[in-house]
Structure 1
Amino acid sequence: MGWTRGSRDDYDLWASFTGDDGWSWDALMPYMKKIEHPSPDNKNLSNFWISSDHGTDGPIGITADAAPALFSSLLIDYTNDSSSEFAWNQDISSGNELGLGWFPWTIENGARSSSWTQYLRPVVNRTNLDIITNTQITRIVQTGIEGKQPIFRAVEFAMSKSSPRGLLHAKREIILSTGAVVSPQLLMLSGIGDYATLSELGIKTLVNNSNVGQHLQDQARLAAVWQVAPNVTTLAVIQYQIFNFSRSHR
């Protein structure tokens, strides 16, 4: 449920590297703002939100202090005493992520604000929307050629490893949105990837691109651990309560 944007410098680097200004921070900002609105769970919006950098009427509700802990406030207060080393960052989603600030979450009215609750559930009965569950896409399928480029406007799917394969055709386009691991996997299963790698797996190469399935960079994360005073509430207490609650309701 964490809700943060990347660094302005990263987006602008993508734009420079690809030669496409559409990847720049300024070009993407209208779409970032279009997704969100401030959640009524926020106790003091001005503490973490620069209003000009956020949307007001998008579907996803955003908050930063839905369940604040005493420890969080103490850490934020520390920025006043050590601003040169740990600077206060009013809004870490405004293109600069350096410093200490409130972390935004997709929470509204005490519940998760998600693609299901805000996008799909309100329109689930539309006649032009089909949601297929317990089903996995096995590959995207070439349906033709435009110029010298293969066109992929169909997907193959199955409900289990041994079940028959089905085929769905798109009139306009297919949007592949299956994450940093499964997206390249599906492309390679579809014949889009490095020729040598696909040949070893017995997959016919339709588009030879040695970058598919490569260059994955994991997110580095460092944890600092220390003791706090007995009267200070930390997330560990909340996590312990959730763990006990989940065990008692199995």
Structure 2
Amino acid sequence: MHRFLLFLISASSWASFGTSKIIHSISDLQCSEYDFIIIGGGTAGSVLANRLSENPHNKVLVLEAGINNAGIQDVQVPFLGVTLPETSVDWNFTTTPQVGLNNRSIELARGFVLGGSSSINFMAWNRGSQDYWNSFVTATKNQMWSFTALEKYYRRTSTLVPPADGRDTTGDVDPTAYGNGPVQVSIPGFMTEIDNRVTESGKILGGRFSFIEDLNKGKTLGFAYAASSIGNGTRSSAATAYLEPILKRKNIDVLISTRVARVTGHAASKGITHIDTVEILQNPGDIPHQIKASKEVLLSAGVMGTPHILTLSGIGPKKVLKNLGINVVVAAEDVGANFADHPLVANYFSVNSNHTWDPVLRDPSLFAADLSEWVNSKQGLFVDTAGNTYGFMKLPHGFADPSTGPRSANTEIIFVNGFAPFGATIPPTTGSYLSMLTAVVSPTSRGTVTTVSRDPFAPPKIDLNIFTTDFDISAMVQVMKDARTLISASPWDGYIIGPFGELANATTDDQLATFARNNAVTVNHPVGTARISPDNARYGVVDSHLKVKGTSGLRVIDASVLPQIPECHPQALVYTIAERAADLIKADHGLL
């Protein structure tokens, strides 16, 4: 994908500029002690920074490994989200060779920038089903994680705003499913010729393909217009919504381009280690600089970064710590385990149309014109992500159902009005295409993230273990067949020419499975590497209040705590968890 889209990156601005409260060097820090130190200025970390600095008596420090988000046009333009993986705003993680992918390695995109992955993702906004949130209650034995109990925290995260084109959206989205928070959310603002075909097909086919007005009302099943974190045709990220508006506060510092070597502390009562120190550095070989936290250290470094930092700090599996020569602070076998992501396969079809956006990706002058329209008026193709419509489905009767309940999905289809370059298929230089991105959203395969070096700059070993269960590959084959069923509905008459490339030869289940193994990537929805569990359970990494077991003064607040992968796009869930966590922290320190 990156090679094909290089000209898009060079065509738009890639300049970054500073903001007054953004600190670039450790030597410029004015304090050696803060009340709260937040490791990670991403989705969750930005929420925590905002909410904890509301009280002017709290001194807050945010530590971000990546760069500043300000002024990076490709981050701001929704359509250009596809250009961001494998660039300077991406951690550029790569998996080990995957047996389930015929020993292919694949890239996993994670935000290396303020706002984290909310600054580089494809912006889909899914609240999660009632069943998913209620599974948190089962996982934690604590009712505060139920769908109902989290209602007010979800509504603190976002506000529904009009789409860029300002059209009447009655029947396409339900305003009651949103709140009054800082993240701006809208449905598509530049309609394409396939959008109505998708929704009408759902209405005609019904059943598993049914159209639903809004997926954010507690049931994540049906085909709908995509709600996305976009306002005024521009990406609304954790950085722009939560972090940038508070940089004027005198009690918050944001230090970028900084790695955490480890967190440490001292022995407390009953075998508990109290964490109150963060060791940081900015270049390999630097002597770590220590900063103290008088109240708490909050680890929001992400699904790869959080287990990596925990392990470097002596909190992790005994065998891994022994191999690295790190003293065991807390033996936690689940650190880095339970790793899951949504497998994705791009299905391409040639279409009878002159209105796809394929020419824009081939002709720099057309691209420049669309970018100019976005810059000057925030209108046109670039105000949306690549996919305006999508659908979540249960598998047919006869399949196992590992989802969290009857209101949660097993599979997903995303519809793209052009050739979306995901996976190994080389983009064609001529023709018009429909891309149907099929995904398994309740996968049963689980992998690991393992620290392999004491060097904080060395990446962990990432083994996704993708397609290693019969369910996962069977579910992918079924959703690929479902995609063909949907485009056989009457709204597509005369539009579809036929499957493109290797897909044209995949007519049996076995051939579809082979196609999937040869072409699958992921939707970049990793979760689970520091999972939550009941307070007294020996398994898990954090308790129901997100405190790292065996410690005090240390919590994990990011997607790594999720006990099961959500059957949807997870960013809104992470925002909600961070809002809930902020109140837990305030309550513990008498700040509510």
Above 0.5 in TM-score?
yes
Q: In 2 relative to 1, CA 59–155 (structure 1 residues): closer, same or farther, beyond 3 Å?
A: same
> Does the residue aligned with 2:277 lie in a helix, a strand or coil?
strand
* Compared CA separation, residues 2 and 238, structure 1 to 2 (3 A): farther
Which residue of structure 1 lines up, in the alignment, with residue 128 of structure 2? 6
Residue aligning to 1:206: 329
1:19 maps to 141
1:216 aligned partner: 339
Equivalent residue for 1:53? 177
- 2:300 aligned to which of 154, 161, 177: 177
Q: 1:33 aligns with which of 155, 162, 167?
A: 155
Shift of 1:232: 4.2
> Partners of 1:22 and 1:115 in 2: how far apart?
24
Number of residue pairs the alignment of both structures matches: 246
1:103 aligned to 2:226? yes
Q: What is the alpha-carbon distance in structure 2 between the residues aligned to residue 190 and residue 17 of structure 1?
A: 26
User: Is the 1:71–1:232 contact (alpha carbons within 8 Å) kept by the matching residues of 2?
Assistant: no
Q: Partner letter of residue 135 of structure 1?
A: T
**Normalised TM-score (structure 1):** 0.88
1:186 equivalent among 295, 305, 309: 309
**Given the two structures, how large is their TM-score scaled by the length of structure 2?**
0.39
| 1:84 shift after superposition | 2.2
| Structure 2 residue 265 is matched with structure 1 residue 142 | yes
Residues 195 and 209, structure 1, Cα contact 8 Å, conserved in 2: yes
Structure 2 vs 1, CA of residues 53 and 87 (structure 1 numbering), >3 Å: closer, same or farther? same
| Equivalent residue, structure 1, for 2:501 | none
Cα displacement string for residues 89-121 of structure 1 (whole angstroms, at most 9, x for unaligned residues): 211222222211111111111211112212222
* 1:46 counterpart SS class: coil
Aligned-residue offset at 1:159: 0.6
SS at match of 1:26: coil
C-alpha deviation, 1:237, in angstroms:
5.2
Aligned-residue offset at 1:146: 4.2
Conserved in 2, the CA contact under 8 Å of 1:87 and 1:100? yes
> In the superposition, relative to structure 1, how do residues 81 and 151 fare at CA in structure 2: closer, same or farther (>3 Å)?
same
Residue correspondence of structure 1 range 84-95 to structure 2 within 5 A? 84-95=207-218
Partners of 1:115 and 1:204 in 2: CA distance: 36
1:238 deviates by 5.6
Q: 1:195 to 1:111 in 2, by over 3 A?
A: same
Quick one: which amino acid aligns to residue 18 of structure 1?
Answer: T
- The one-letter code of the counterpart of 1:70 is E
1:53 deviates by: 2.6
Shift of 1:64: 1.2
Q: Please, which of 192, 210, 230 is the counterpart of residue 69 of structure 1?
A: 192
Distance 1:191 1:44 in 2: 55
Instruction: Name the amino acid aligned to 1:225.
Output: Y
Return the alpha-carbon distance in structure 1 between the equivalents of residues 363 and 234 of structure 2: 17
Stretch of structure 1 that moved more, 222-231 or 126-135: 222-231
8 Å Cα contact 2:215-2:221 kept in structure 1: yes
Deviations 1:163-208 (A, max 9, x none): 2211121122122111111111111111111112211111111011
**1:240: how far off?**
5.2
Instruction: Check whether the contact 2:173–2:225 (CA below 8 A) recurs between aligned residues.
Output: no
Q: For the structure 1 residues 238 and 17, does the alpha-carbon distance in structure 2 shift closer, same or farther, using more than 3 Å as the test?
A: farther
SS of the residue corresponding to residue 154 of structure 1 reads strand
Report the alpha carbon displacement of residue 50 of structure 1 after superposing the two structures with TM: 2.8
Q: 2: CA distance between counterparts of 1:73 and 1:64?
A: 14
Structure 1: segments with no counterpart, 5+ residues: none
- 60-69 vs 224-233, which moves further: 224-233
Give, in whole Å, the separation in 2 of the partners of 1:167 and 1:9: 43
Gaps of 5+ in 2: 1-122, 372-592
Higher RCO (CA 8 Å, separation ≥ 6 residues): 2
Kept in 2: contact 1:43–1:65 (CA 8 A): no
Listed one character per residue, the Cα deviations across residues 24-53 of structure 1 (whole Å, up to 9, x for unaligned) are 222222211111011232633433433333
Distance 1:30 1:67, change over 3 A: same
**CA–CA distance in structure 1, aligned partners of residues 360 and 261 of structure 2:** 40
Partner of 1:227: 350
| Identity in percent | 25
Give distance in 1, aligned partners of 2:197 and 2:356: 11
**Partner amino acid for 1:214?**
A
Matched to 2:290, the amino acid is L
* Structure 1 contact 143–154 (Cα < 8 Å) conserved: no
Code of the aligned partner of 1:52: T
Between the aligned partners of 1:239 and 1:145, the Cα distance in structure 2 is 59
Structure 2 residue matching 1:223: 3-state secondary structure? strand
Q: Deviations over 1:3-40 (max 9, x none)?
A: 22233222211211221122222222221111101123
1:44 lines up with 2:164 in the alignment: no
